[in-house]
């Protein structure tokens, strides 16, 4: 007689390392999991991990040890570096729904202990002062522009109005603004994160790495005890930066928001082959030969059959992951904070800089606060340039969210469905809505049959930030102007 099925959770009282060993032992033990757990002690678990994870390199065992970390009062620069971990979950304090405190700013020690202290403090404090001063009048302007609909609850109306206010004001926040981050991460990924942080050129990242290691050693002492600065990461990045500086120079480059720089021209056929592959005994190459001979109408029907029945919350079939696209994206830092969270992809980030200029929220101008905004943005440029000469890494902290930066992202078609449908929606911020919409437009230019099944919201009727990314009336680049004067 078959034994009765059992599905149960392990007690929360078990330490993460004990849970990891409990699951790992099932490959060698016929005992049920709860019995294995009862027989384990922290000491036995440590011995197991020393032998199998550390000694023999069976690192996958560490994925069963999961840690939840609360990280508070770190800079916005730090959160993006921490969140560049693909296999972890993050929840971050929102700049769209919360007012930030002007007294909570990161102070890089080397800058504060130098002659540039006043330059740094003046730049970040000026940004936060204007952010604070404009909060109430900007809120009043928003409520005047968008009066409460009769049918809308007042509490909901106030929440929406606050979000609209923050949508504009967050562009004044310097990346030095302190924020909070919740992390759920397995120990294998945690070890890599600690190594990455300890090998980073910014002292804040090194300090965060040390503290994360100290705190998590209390729960997983064996699994992360060898997480340390990694010379491969540190030295390789230093040398590549030197080569890039020498060979590529410091020019800001083209001012185009979204460009597809890599894709497979045979993506349509590749997708059809992948869709049919699970239901055949043929090899990939044999299926490919048959698919190539199909008329176009049959190919379109196959793709249509694979995608037409999707409900609102249905993810496309996994076979779409065989098709990839690489996008070069130039976007403001506020939008980058949201786009960067889509980590089921490959991202390569350029540093925060003033080289690409900044966006002025149209409602800031409409409300009459353009001059205040531009004054502190220009001050940030001056501060950045002065600090960069001595502390190029730390100069990033004075740059406000309104400035643009570049990121290179390779998405598979399935993740692109998720990104475009989510980020083009009306409830999103207009800056990243336009990025999602432009990603769809670029895909539609080259492969319209594949683009047509992506749910994209192209309706800008309710978007207050109506200016396009290339609209010169809302884009300024004082850095480029100075470069031209110096030529």
Considering the domain boundaries, does residue 436 fall inside one?
yes
Quick one: pLDDT at residue 471? 53
The confidence score (pLDDT) of residue 111 equals: 98
Residue 469: per-residue pLDDT:
45
* DSSP secondary structure, 435-478, as one string: HHHHHHHHHHHH-HHHHTTS------TT-S--S-TT-GGGEE-H
In a domain, 452, yes or no: yes
Q: Is residue 421 part of a domain?
A: yes
* Residue 246 included in any domain: no
| CA–CA distances in Å: residue 79 to residues 76, 119, 186, 485 | 5, 24, 18, 36
Considering 22, 49, 64, which residue would you say is the last residue of a domain?
Answer: 64
Which domain, by its residues, includes 3?
A: 1-64
The verdict on residue 102 lying in a domain is: no
- Of 78, 19, 36, nearest to 209 (Cα)? 78
Query: Has residue 392 been placed in a domain?
Result: no
Cα 247 to chain centroid distance, Å, stands at 29
Judge whether 273 lies within some domain: yes
Residue 174 maps to a domain: no
Please give the tally of structural domains in the chain. 2
CA distances from 15 to 37, 220, 237 (A): 10, 8, 36
Among 64, 89, 113, where does a domain finish? Answer: 64
Please list the alpha-helical segments (H only) found in 294-409: 296-307, 333-339, 362-366, 370-390
Question: What is the 8-class DSSP label of residue 105?
Answer: B
Domain final position from 18, 38, 64:
64
Q: Which two tokens stand for residue 34?
A: 């709860």
| pLDDT score, position 487 | 44
Per-residue model confidence (pLDDT) at position 57:
47
Angle at 385 between CA 381 and CA 388, to 5 degrees: 130
DSSP H helices in 352-425: 362-366, 370-390, 413-423
- What CATH number corresponds to the domain at position 334? 3.30.1360.170
Block means of pLDDT (10 residues each) for the chain, length 487 residues?
77 81 76 82 58 53 84 96 91 91 95 98 97 97 94 93 94 97 92 96 97 91 85 95 92 88 96 98 98 96 96 93 97 94 92 94 94 96 97 98 96 96 90 93 96 90 44 61 47
Please state the φ and ψ torsions of residue 407, each to the nearest 5 degrees. -145, 140
The predicted structure's pLDDT at residue 294: 97
């Amino acid at each position: 007689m078959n034994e009765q099925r059992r599905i149960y959770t392990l007690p929360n009282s078990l330490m993460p390392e004990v849970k990891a060993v409990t699951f790992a032992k099932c490959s060698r033990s016929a005992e049920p999991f709860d019995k294995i757990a009862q027989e384990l002690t922290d000491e036995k678990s440590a011995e197991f991990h020393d032998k199998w994870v550390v000694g023999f390199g069976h690192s996958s065992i560490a994925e069963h040890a999961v840690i939840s970390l609360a990280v508070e009062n770190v800079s916005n620069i730090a959160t993006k570096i921490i969140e560049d971990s693909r296999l972890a979950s993050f929840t971050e304090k929102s700049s769209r729904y919360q007012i930030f405190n002007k007294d909570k700013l990161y102070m890089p020690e080397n800058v504060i202990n130098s002659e540039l202290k006043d330059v740094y403090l003046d730049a970040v404090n000026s940004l936060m002062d204007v952010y604070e001063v404009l909060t109430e009048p900007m809120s009043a302007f928003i409520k005047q522009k968008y009066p409460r609909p009769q049918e809308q609850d007042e509490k909901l109306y106030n929440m929406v109005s606050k979000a609209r206010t923050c949508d504009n004001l967050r562009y004044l926040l310097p990346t030095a603004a302190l924020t909070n981050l919740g992390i759920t991460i397995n120990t294998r990924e945690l070890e890599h994160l600690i190594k990455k942080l300890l090998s980073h050129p910014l002292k804040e990242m090194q300090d965060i790495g040390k503290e994360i290691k100290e705190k998590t050693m209390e729960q997983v002492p064996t699994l992360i005890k060898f997480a340390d600065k990694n010379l491969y990461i540190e030295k390789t990045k230093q040398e590549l930066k030197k080569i890039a500086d020498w060979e590529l120079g410091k020019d800001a480059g083209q001012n185009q928001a979204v460009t597809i720089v890599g894709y497979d021209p045979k993506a349509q056929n590749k997708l059809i082959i992948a869709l049919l592959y699970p239901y055949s005994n043929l090899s990939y190459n044999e299926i490919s030969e048959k698919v190539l001979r199909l008329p176009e109408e049959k190919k379109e029907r196959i793709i249509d059959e694979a995608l037409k029945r999707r409900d609102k919350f249905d993810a496309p079939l996994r076979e779409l992951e065989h098709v990839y696209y690489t996008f070069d994206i130039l976007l403001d830092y506020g939008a980058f904070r949201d786009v960067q969270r889509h980590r089921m992809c490959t991202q390569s980030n350029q540093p925060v800089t003033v080289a690409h200029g900044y966006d002025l929220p149209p409602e800031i101008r409409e409300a009459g606060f353009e001059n205040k905004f531009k004054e502190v943005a220009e001050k940030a440029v001056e501060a950045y340039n002065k600090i960069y000469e001595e502390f190029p890494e730390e100069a990033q902290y004075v740059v406000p969210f309104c400035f643009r930066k570049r990121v290179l992202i390779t998405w598979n078609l399935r993740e692109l469905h998720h990104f475009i449908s989510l980020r083009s929606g009306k409830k999103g911020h207009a800056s990243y809505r336009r990025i999602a919409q432009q990603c769809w437009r670029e895909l539609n230019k080259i492969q319209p049959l594949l683009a047509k099944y992506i749910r994209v919201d192209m309706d800008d009727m309710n978007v207050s930030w109506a200016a396009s990314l290339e609209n010169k009336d809302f884009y300024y680049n004082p850095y480029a102007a100075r470069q031209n004067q110096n030529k």
